[in-house]
């Protein structure tokens, strides 16, 4: 009982810490307008997930197999949750500031593991509510709601995140244990993030690309390999037997993790936190310009912090992976795309892929936040605030444009894009990148949030990222408006015209940034 009380106290403090940091990370204030904006943004972002869930249910309903919708969505959710949980666990276990304090407390090591998992559980529960719960509710209604089935759906909702969470914990701790002594441990976390993303995108594209009967066949097959998805589906229909199976599975997994936790924790977390002496090169004395030094510093902040690096690379890699998987799975036929009648579609695809780094890697939205407690350094230095702000913008522009060029050089040949369209596409992307790098920085200047204790909090719990992403769909209004108003303009001219509009927007934002936001920058409290 005493032990349980200590575990509860530890979990409570972790959750309080998590909510307090989450709230401050989100920048929530008592102002009604601020909260309204937050809820609106969250609703906007939740809609596509709920639509996906409802859409999947209707697909299986049309096939006459609504019960398979839960199986399919649970498999998808498990992958989605694992993809989210593993990097989050890496951040919580290996880069959180409180781990050195926690290890000194007179508590068993598995308590620390379980207390940390409680915060990840909440994260996954939100994902579960958006991705799986709508299908479960619709399924429950379809099979006739009874008090028993409502209770079972509710329990299923609560329990669904546990298997992926426990699996992710073993994977994250186990892999780190293997790599704890290696200097390549950060690469491991990167590799795993990529592998999971590839898996997630691949399975989703594969299933959506297949015909109805194939989807049914694959869901049944995958369900056989992953019985919890079938149990969960039958729980929604009111099956107590499957509920017991699901409970038993969770019990076994929790017991397994309890046995493994202490051992894994000791060998992984503590070894990971051991300081290692890394000597590189020698002592040198070289002069560089202030601009170059500031740019280098901002780049290194991303490149040297594995969580920041992984997040950036994953954001940049998504379009490439999507394209690659679409080609591999045959969802995208290159032979058809290069036909003259599909030229427009190929150009749109090319520009879309080229723009993806600027649209997805919203680095400027956390450019100041990423510095955390070291932000004071740049404020003390004899550097103009504008140079300080500009160096952050240029960091985002350099990374995003480099990614766009790399992706562009690959897709340009693949899609056999004409030189004239290539130039128009590049012009559009450069202007879009400049505008987004500037407007995102504006968001970060309004909401600097420097007091984070683990890097995931800086870039994931941060409402800046959501605000910045919410802005993206609005930008589509410009080319759509041009296309509808002047259908004869053609893709190339629309690209040039939209690029020009983005350039004007960039100049206006930059002017505002330069004139008014410098004061805001100076007033950031460190």
Partner 1 sequence: MLVLKDLTKSYDGKKKAVDHLSLTVKEGEIFGFIGPNGAGKTTTIKMITGILTPTCGQIKIKGIDMAQSPVKAKMNFTYVPDHPEIFSSIRGIDYLNFLADMYEVPVVERRDQIEKFTKIFAIYEELDQLILSYSHGMKQKLLICGALLPNPKLFILDEPLVGLDPLSAKKLKDIMKEHCNKGGTVFFSSHLLEVVENICDRIAVINKGRLVACDRLEKIKEESGHTLEEIFLELTKDAKDA
Q: Which residues bind partner 1 (CB under 8 A)?
A: 275-290, 293, 297, 300-301, 304-305, 371, 373-374, 376-377, 379-385, 522-523, 525-526
CB of 25 to partner 1, least distance (A): 19
Do 365 and 447 form a contact (C-beta atoms < 8 A)? Answer: no
Do 451 and 24 form a contact (C-beta atoms < 8 A)? Answer: yes
Using the minimum distance from each CB to partner 1, give the nearer residue, 2 or 104. 104
CB of 450 to partner 1, least distance (A): 11
Using the minimum distance from each CB to partner 1, give the nearer residue, 280 or 413. 280
CB of 172 to partner 1, least distance (A): 22
Q: Which residue has the tokens 């704890």?
A: 180
Using the minimum distance from each CB to partner 1, give the nearer residue, 234 or 447. 447
CB of 305 to partner 1, least distance (A): 6
CB of 29 to partner 1, least distance (A): 13
CB of 517 to partner 1, least distance (A): 14
CB of 445 to partner 1, least distance (A): 14
Distance CA 327, CA 252 (A): 41
Using the minimum distance from each CB to partner 1, give the nearer residue, 118 or 293. 293
Do 175 and 188 form a contact (C-beta atoms < 8 A)? Answer: yes
Distance CA 186, CA 140 (A): 43
Pair of tokens at residue 14: 């972790």
Q: What is the largest CA-CA distance in the chain?
A: 76
Helices (H), 27-66: 32-62
**Radius of gyration of the chain, Cα coordinates, nearest whole angstrom:** 25
Using the minimum distance from each CB to partner 1, give the nearer residue, 106 or 281. 281
CB of 455 to partner 1, least distance (A): 11
Using the minimum distance from each CB to partner 1, give the nearer residue, 286 or 413. 286
Nearest to 135 by CA among 219, 208, 74, 215: 74
CB of 480 to partner 1, least distance (A): 42
Do 310 and 190 form a contact (C-beta atoms < 8 A)? Answer: yes
What is the DSSP annotation of 185-219?
Answer: HHHHHHHHHHHHHHHHHHHHHHHHHS-HHHHHHHH
Using the minimum distance from each CB to partner 1, give the nearer residue, 21 or 234. 21
Using the minimum distance from each CB to partner 1, give the nearer residue, 88 or 308. 308
Do 138 and 59 form a contact (C-beta atoms < 8 A)? Answer: no
Distance CA 255, CA 249 (A): 10
Q: Which residue has the tokens 């079938």?
A: 230
Do 70 and 157 form a contact (C-beta atoms < 8 A)? Answer: no
Using the minimum distance from each CB to partner 1, give the nearer residue, 158 or 300. 300
Distance CA 365, CA 444 (A): 5
Distance CA 443, CA 440 (A): 5
Count CB-CB contacts under 10 A for residue 317.
22
CB of 187 to partner 1, least distance (A): 15
Q: Which residue has the tokens 């810490």?
A: 17
Distance CA 218, CA 212 (A): 10
Using the minimum distance from each CB to partner 1, give the nearer residue, 32 or 280. 280
Using the minimum distance from each CB to partner 1, give the nearer residue, 51 or 373. 373
């Amino acid at each position: 009982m005493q032990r349980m009380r200590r575990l509860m106290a530890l979990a409570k403090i972790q959750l309080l810490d998590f909510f307090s940091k989450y709230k401050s990370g989100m920048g929530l204030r008592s102002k009604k307008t601020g909260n309204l904006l937050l809820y609106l943004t969250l609703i906007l972002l939740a809609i596509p997930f709920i639509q996906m869930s409802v859409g999947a249910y209707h697909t299986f309903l049309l096939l006459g197999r609504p019960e398979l919708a839960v199986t399919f969505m649970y498999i998808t959710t498990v992958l989605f949750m694992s993809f989210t949980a593993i990097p989050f666990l890496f951040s919580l276990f290996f880069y959180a500031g409180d781990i050195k304090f926690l290890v000194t407390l007179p508590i068993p090591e598995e308590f620390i593991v379980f207390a940390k998992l409680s915060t990840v559980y909440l994260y996954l529960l939100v994902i579960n509510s958006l991705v799986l719960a709508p299908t479960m509710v619709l399924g429950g209604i379809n099979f006739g709601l009874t008090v028993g089935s409502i209770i079972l759906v509710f329990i299923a909702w609560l329990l669904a995140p546990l298997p992926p969470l426990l699996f992710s914990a073993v994977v994250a701790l186990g892999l780190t244990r293997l790599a704890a002594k290696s200097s390549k441990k950060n690469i491991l976390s990167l590799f795993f993030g990529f592998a999971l993303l590839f898996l997630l995108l691949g399975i989703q594209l594969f299933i959506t690309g297949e015909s109805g009967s194939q989807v049914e066949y694959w869901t049944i097959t995958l369900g056989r390999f992953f019985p919890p998805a079938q149990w969960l589906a039958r729980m929604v229909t009111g099956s107590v037997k499957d509920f017991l199976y699901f409970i038993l599975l969770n019990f076994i997994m929790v017991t397994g993790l309890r046995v493994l936790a202490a051992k894994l924790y000791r060998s992984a977390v503590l070894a990971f936190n051991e300081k290692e002496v890394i000597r590189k090169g020698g002592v040198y004395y070289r002069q560089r310009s202030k601009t170059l030094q500031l740019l280098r510093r901002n780049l290194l902040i991303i490149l040297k912090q594995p969580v920041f690096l992984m997040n950036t690379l994953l954001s940049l890699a998504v379009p490439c992976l999507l394209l690659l998987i679409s080609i591999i799975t045959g969802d995208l036929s290159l032979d058809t795309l290069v036909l003259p009648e599909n030229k427009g579609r190929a150009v749109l695809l090319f520009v879309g892929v080229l723009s993806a780094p600027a649209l997805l890697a919203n680095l400027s939205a956390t450019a100041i936040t990423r510095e955390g407690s070291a932000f004071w350094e740049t404020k003390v230095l004899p550097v103009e605030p504008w140079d300080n702000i500009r160096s952050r913008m240029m960091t985002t522009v350099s990374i995003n444009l480099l990614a766009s060029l790399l992706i562009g050089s690959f897709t340009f040949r693949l899609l056999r894009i004409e030189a004239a369209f290539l130039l128009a596409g590049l012009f559009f992307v450069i202007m879009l990148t400049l505008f987004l790098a500037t407007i995102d920085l504006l968001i970060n200047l309004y909401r600097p949030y420097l007091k984070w204790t683990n890097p995931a909090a800086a870039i994931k719990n941060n409402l800046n990222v959501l605000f910045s992403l919410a802005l993206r769909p609005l930008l589509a209004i410009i080319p759509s408006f041009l296309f509808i108003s002047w259908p004869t303009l053609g893709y190339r001219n629309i690209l040039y015209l939209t690029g020009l509009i983005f350039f004007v927007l960039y100049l206006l934002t930059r002017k505002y940034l330069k004139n008014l936001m410098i004061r805001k920058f100076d007033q950031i409290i460190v």
